[in-house]
Structure 1
Amino acid sequence: MSSSLNAQFWRYRPVAVTGATGFIGHHVAQLLAAQGAQVRALIRPSSRTQRLEALGVPWVVAPLDSAEALARAFAQQDIVIHLAGAVHLRQDWQEVWHTNVEGTRQVLRAAKQAGVRRVVHVSSIVSIGASQEPTVLDETARWNLGHLRVPYVLSKRRAEEIALAAAEQGQDVVIVNPASVIGPEDYSRSEFGVLCRRFWSRRLPLVFRGGSNFVDVRDVAQGILLAAQQGRAGRRYILGGVNRSWLDFFRDLARLSWWPIPRWYAPGTVAPLIAWINTYCERRPGKRPYLSPAQAELLSWFFFMSSRRAREELGYEPRPWTQTLRDTYQFWMVARSA
C-alpha cells in the first residue's frame, strides 16, 4: 500500500483513541505510535492493557458513560478517534444502544467541551445500506436496513446520524465507514475473524446467498488517519477493499487451506431459520453458536461498496486481497498452535 500519511503532520500531535484495545483500535494505536504521534488510549476499567504497554502507548480509564472522565481524557488533545463500541450481533438492545449511540453522543459532547479540533467517528458500511443483488453502493446510497431488527445495525446508523448532526452544527467531525474487516493480530476475535476461523476449522457448513466488501484492518487504520489528516468535515468515507460473494469468499479461504468450501447453500429466507435452530441447540454456558440469527439475516444481503471517494480525496489505497488473506491465515495458524 502506498502511504499518503504526512509524517510532519503526525509527529508529536496529541491524539486520543477510544476503543484502542479492540481489533481496529490496536492497529490505529500502533500506526499512530509509528508516526510519532502522542497517543492517549481511552479504555474501560475491565480492558486488558498488555498490547498497549507493548506499544508504549499510555492509557487512561474513561468509560463512555462518564462525561467527566471523557472530558479529562480529551484535555489538550488535537484529534479524537472514536472507535469504541459494541460490535457484536447479539440481541442485547440495552447494551448495544447505550454503548454505540449514547456513547457517541457523550464523546462528541466531551470533545467539544475540551476544545478538541477534530473528531473522527468510525461507523460501518451497515450505515450505508445494502442490496438484494450484487449492486455496488457508495456514500450517496439511500439507507434501506431500518427494517432489520439487529441492534448493531440500527445503533450504528443512529450514532452516525448524531455525528453528522454535530458536523452540521459546526463541530469538525469526519466519518469513516469501514467494510467487513479481517487481518492479522485479531486478538479480540472480531465477527469476521471468527467466521474465517470457523471455516478453517471446518466448522462452517453453510454458504450464504449474499456477499460483502472485505478490507484489511491495516488499510482501515491508515484510512482513519488519512481522514483525520485531510478529510472534509461532515463527509463520509467508505474504507473498503474487494467485493466478494460469500461463495467466492469461501473459495478464497479454501485456496489457502486446501479444504473444501461448505457443501450446503442457504437461501436468504432459509438461513435465519437454520440459525435459530442452531442457536437453540447450542444454548450452553460459554458456547458461541457458529451462526446467530442476526448474522444469518445480514449475510443474505450484498454489502458491495465503492471506496472511490476515499481514494480520490484521501489518497486511500488498500493492499492486494491476496496479501490480506495470506497474512490472516498465517496469523490464525500461529495463534492456533500457540
Structure 2
Amino acid sequence: MINKKSKILITGATGLIGSHIARRLWKEGYHNICATKRPSSKMDLLPGIVDKLHWLEADVTDIVSLQNCFEGIEVVIHAAAVVSYDPKKNDLMNDVNVGGTANMVNVALDYGVRRFVYISSVAALGKTEKSTVRSENTEWDHSVQTTDYAISKYKSEKEAWRGYAEGLSLVILNPSFVIGASNWTESSSRIWSQMAKGIPYYPMGTNGYVDVRDVSAAALMAMNSDFNGERFVLSAETISYKTAFQWIAEAIGVKVPSRALTPLLRNIAWRLEWLRSMLTGTSLLLTAASAKSTAEKTHYDNAKSREILGMTYRPLKQSIQVVGNIFVNSQKEGKDYGVMEVD
C-alpha cells in the first residue's frame, strides 16, 4: 500500500487517461502529485486541481529534462503517449511511445523508484490468425499485419519489461478503446465529434471498450497492489462496431449508421482518406492496416483483471450515455472538450 504522502509522478496528466488518474489520486487523498507538461499543454481536463499539482516542464523524449523530475519520487504512472494512424507521425510516435518509455524506465531505475505503472494498450497484445481471443498471454506474431501504433506500443512494452528485468517494480495496464470525455478532436474521444458530423457506415468487426473511470481505478489498484511483473487487460465488454456506433449515435441524438462497411467499401475508404489527407495537408485518420483491423472479430479477455486485480466494470451502454450527455452539453456551451466526474 502506497502511503498517501508519497511523491507520485504522472506523465500524460493533461490527456484523457492521465488527467482522470490525477483527479482520482487527488480525490482519494494523494496530494503530493508531480506531473510533467510541455509549454503547449492544455489544462482543461483538470478542473479544481490544476493549481494543486506540482508541474514540471519536461518531455519524455528528453532524458535530461526527466532527470530533474525524479528527486524523491516513489511512484511513477506513465500515461504519456501519441496515438496516430498517420504515417507522417510515425517518427514522433516512436520517439514518444518507445523512446519516451525507455527514458522513463532508465531514470526510474537510476532513482530507485518504488513502483512503476505503465498505461499501455490492447494494441500491444499479441495478434494471431489462429484465435480471435486476445489476452495477456497472447504471443505477438510479426507476420500478421498490424498498425504502426500497435507496433510502437509493443516496442514500448518491451522497454518496460527490460526495466523489470533490471529490477523495476512494474505493472502494465492494457486498456481497450477508452470511453471518456476529453478534447473531442483527440485520441478515442474523437469518435464523438466524428459521429456528430455524420458517419454513414459501421465497420463489420468487434472491439473492446472500457470506461476511463475504470482505467483510473485500475491504475490506483495496480499502484497499491503487491503485483510485480504483471500486465492486465482492461476491457468492460466486447461488442460489434454496429452496436457501439448505434449506442453512441443515440446518446448524442444523431442518425445511426445504417450501412455495413464491406471489404470493397473499406478499401475505397482508406484510399479516399489518403487522397483527402494529401490534398488538405491534414493528418491521415485511416490507413490500410487500421481499416483492416475494424473488420476483425476480436474479443479481449478481461478475466485476469477481474479475478486477480479485482476490477468491476461499469456497463458499457451506461458509460456511453454518460459521455454522450457531456458531449451534448459541451457543444451547447461552445466547448471543444468535456470532463467526467470522478466517482
Please confirm whether the aligned pair reaches a TM-score higher than 0.5, indicating the same fold.
Answer: yes
Given candidates 169, 173, 194, the residue that maps to 1:172 is 169
Given candidates 215, 233, 237, the residue that maps to 1:238 is 233
Q: Who is 1:41 aligned against?
A: 35
Given candidates 303, 306, 310, the residue that maps to 1:311 is 306
CA distance in 2, matches of 1:50, 1:308: 35
CA distance in 2, matches of 1:210, 1:159: 27
| Alpha-carbon offset, residue 60 of structure 1 | 0.4
User: Relative to 1, partners in 2 of residues 1:76 and 1:188: Cα closer, same or farther, differing over 3 Å?
Assistant: farther
User: Relative to 1, partners in 2 of residues 1:63 and 1:29: Cα closer, same or farther, differing over 3 Å?
Assistant: same
> Which ranges in structure 1 are unaligned for 5 or more consecutive residues?
1-5
Matched AA of 2:213: R
SS at match of 1:54: coil
Could you list the per-position Cα deviations for residues 112-139 of structure 1 after superposition, in whole angstroms to 9, with x for gaps in the alignment?
Answer: 1112111111110011135679933221
Structure 1 window deviating more from structure 2 (33-42 vs 282-291): it is 282-291
| Alpha-carbon offset, residue 315 of structure 1 | 1.4
Give the TM-score normalised by structure 2. 0.87
1:146-161 matches, within 5 Å, as 147-148=144-145, 150-161=147-158
Q: Is the CA contact (8 Å cut-off) linking 1:238 and 1:309 kept in structure 2?
A: yes
Given candidates 290, 294, 300, the residue that maps to 2:295 is 300
Question: What percent of counterpart residues are identical?
Answer: 26
1:129 aligns with 2:122: no
| Alpha-carbon offset, residue 101 of structure 1 | 0.5
User: Relative to 1, partners in 2 of residues 1:15 and 1:144: Cα closer, same or farther, differing over 3 Å?
Assistant: same
1:209 aligns with 2:204: yes
Matched AA of 1:18: T
User: Relative to 1, partners in 2 of residues 1:250 and 1:49: Cα closer, same or farther, differing over 3 Å?
Assistant: closer
Matched AA of 2:180: G
1:108 aligns with 2:102: no
1:49-198 matches, within 5 Å, as 49-52=43-46, 54-55=48-49, 56-91=52-87, 92-130=89-127, 135-144=132-141, 147-148=144-145, 150-184=147-181, 186-187=182-183, 189-198=185-194
User: Relative to 1, partners in 2 of residues 1:273 and 1:27: Cα closer, same or farther, differing over 3 Å?
Assistant: same
CA distance in 2, matches of 1:126, 1:299: 13
Given candidates 5, 13, 16, the residue that maps to 1:12 is 5
| Alpha-carbon offset, residue 212 of structure 1 | 0.7
CA distance in 2, matches of 1:22, 1:68: 23
Structure 1 window deviating more from structure 2 (98-107 vs 159-168): it is 159-168
| Alpha-carbon offset, residue 45 of structure 1 | 2.9
1:320 aligns with 2:320: no
Q: Who is 1:3 aligned against?
A: none
> Which ranges in structure 2 are unaligned for 5 or more consecutive residues?
335-343
Q: Is the CA contact (8 Å cut-off) linking 2:60 and 2:103 kept in structure 1?
A: yes
1:213-224 matches, within 5 Å, as 213-224=208-219
- RMSD in angstroms over aligned alpha carbons? 2.4
Q: Who is 1:22 aligned against?
A: 15
Give the TM-score normalised by structure 1. 0.89
1:32 aligns with 2:25: yes
Could you list the per-position Cα deviations for residues 33-91 of structure 1 after superposition, in whole angstroms to 9, with x for gaps in the alignment?
Answer: 11121111111232123544731222101111222221221110110011111112211
Matched AA of 1:70: L
| Alpha-carbon offset, residue 270 of structure 1 | 4.4
CA distance in 2, matches of 1:132, 1:258: 38
Aligned residues: 329
Matched AA of 1:143: W
